[in-house]
């Protein structure tokens, strides 16, 4: 995103249910996303961008058998 990034103090709690820094937030969005990604044997990472904002990376493995079928 283009925001100011995530404070170091908040980074460790980011995926904790009900943790939020927004006045109207419930703190469920990122924990739900992380659970969905983990249910697909993936992982979700976050870091502050070099210039500004936050960068979220989602990695989900692809089975080799699926790649072979898709290629055929």
Joined together, the tokens standing for residue 2 give 């283009």
pLDDT at residue 6, rounded to an integer: 92
pLDDT at residue 69, rounded to an integer: 60
CA 2 to chain centroid, in Å, comes to 16
47 found inside a domain: yes
CATH number at residue 36: 3.30.565.10
Q: Per-residue pLDDT tens for 13-72? A: 999 999 998 898 899 999 999 999 999 999 999 999 888 889 999 999 987 666 666 666
Q: What is the mean pLDDT of residues 8-14?
A: 92
Number of structural domains found in the chain? 1
């Amino acid at each position: 995103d283009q925001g100011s990034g995530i404070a170091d103090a908040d980074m460790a709690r980011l995926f904790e249910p009900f943790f939020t820094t927004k006045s109207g937030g419930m703190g469920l969005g990122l924990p739900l996303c992380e659970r969905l990604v983990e249910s697909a044997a993936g992982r979700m990472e976050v870091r502050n961008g070099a210039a500004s904002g936050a960068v979220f990376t989602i990695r989900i493995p692809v089975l080799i058998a699926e790649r072979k079928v898709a290629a055929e």
